[in-house]
Amino acid sequence: MSDNASQPESGEIVDPTIHHRSTRQRRGRQPAQVGALNLTSMIDVIFQLLIYFVVTASFMIDEGVLTAKLPQGSGSPVPADELPPEKINIRLAADPADDTLVRIERGSANNPVRYESFGELAADLDRLRYDPEIGRSDGIYEPDNPVIIEPQGTVRWQHVVNAFNAAVAAQYTNVSFAEAAKP
Amino acid sequence: MSKVVQRGAVTPRMNITPLIDVVFLLIIFFMLVNNIVSEETVDMILPELDDPRTREVGEIERVVVNVAPEPFTRTGRDEFPLSHAGRPGYVKVGTGTNSRFDADDLKGITEKLKSAKADNPKVEVLMRVDGAIYYDKVQPIMAAVTAAGIETVNLVAYMPEE
């Protein structure tokens, strides 16, 4: 038996995981044992944290929804002229020079109100809403009056959703889409 | 006879086994998650809204109707998302086999959604439509969705920035 085999010295607690050595050897080896840090479990945990943050940060964070109740039944929208007279028509037309741009109008085709931006449209729709709760009684449209968005066929979907968003922002609850109008 | 301690002969070695374990776990995890996410979503640029009022999708029974644009390059559209021909490439309804339809296959879309509604009457539709597509290409698809008797259609757009 060699002198560094497991052999408890008198008075020491026996621990099978510890490799016991003679006093002389232990004293000689001591500086080499300092700094043996076990990093494995820390790396495990750091990778787990990394996974967690990468996953929560990247998927589907940007996407949200605007809820629309679309008309039922026939599969085609109700013609605009069958709705009650208090409807609000928002017409969207593509700019003839650049079809990524849009022209926004509200009201009758003969005497429309034009808007420069959807923010302007939302502000005006909000102003027109009858809302005694905030002390405004001169609004001419109830919040559940139908708002009908009538885009031309060549208007980009982004502008259509933007018009819908403006009506939602102005707190109208009954917003619908008309069939594509001819340019 | 005492053993001679041979210093220098032992080369220090890193135990990389647990590292490999974790890296493989990561690889598997991302492969699975990517599969699950890409199963429902199609690459497109959603409408960019002024003052968005979009809200997060809650826990709903949903079918995602993707109206994908014709193939495009990200670099060409990052600055001007609407610089696209505006025609839909295909429509993907839900997941699984035969979920992909031509944009003019309105009957097929309606049938697929009718069966989804038969399975679950409370089902809601999420319309993911690329912002650049012309309205007269989207409107028939919306009509096909409502023809299936779906009551609630959610238009998907980007969330407001924090």
Asked if A66 and B159 count as a contact pair (C-beta separation under 8 A), the reply is: no
Q: Which residues pair with B156 in a beta bridge?
A: A65
Asked if B54's CB is within 8 angstroms of A65's CB, the reply is yes
Residue of chain B whose Cα is closest to the Cα of A120: B50
Portion of chain A with pLDDT greater than 70, in percent: 68
> If contacts are CB pairs under 8 Å, which of residues 60-79 in chain B contact chain A?
none
Section A97-125 average pLDDT: 88
Residue type, A103: R
Please report which confidence band the pLDDT of residue A2 belongs to, taking 50, 70 and 90 as the band edges.
very low
Tell which residue, A111, A113, A175, has the closest CA to residue A143.
Answer: A175
Spatial separation of the C-alpha atoms in residues A47 and A54, rounded to whole Å: 10
Residue A3, pLDDT score: 47
What is the reported pLDDT for A115? 92
B residues 102-121 near A, CB within 8 Å?
A: 110
Q: What is the pLDDT along chain B (162 residues), one digit of tens a residue?
A: 555 555 667 788 888 888 888 888 888 888 787 766 666 678 888 888 888 888 888 777 888 899 999 988 878 788 888 888 889 999 999 887 788 899 889 999 999 999 999 998 888 898 999 999 999 999 999 989 988 888 788 899 988 876
Instruction: Give B64 or A30, the one with higher predicted confidence.
Output: B64
Where residue A15 falls among pLDDT bands split at 50, 70, 90? low
Q: What is the mean pLDDT of chain A?
A: 75
The C-alpha of A137 sits at a distance from chain B's nearest C-alpha, in angstroms, of: 25
Q: Quote the pTM value.
A: 0.70
Contacts of B111 (CB under 8 A, 6+ apart): B148
pLDDT at residue A16, rounded to an integer = 56
Do A162 and B46 count as a contact with CB atoms less than 8 A apart? no
Among A68, A73, A165, beta carbon nearest to B49: A165
Q: Is A116 exposed, middle or buried (0-12, 13-18, 19+ CB in 10 A)?
A: exposed
Q: Please give the span between the terminal C-alpha atoms of chain A, in angstroms, as a whole number.
A: 101
The more confidently predicted of residues A30 and B37 is B37
Using DSSP's 3-state secondary structure scheme, residue B58 falls into: coil
A104: phi then psi, degrees, rounded to nearest 5: -115, 130
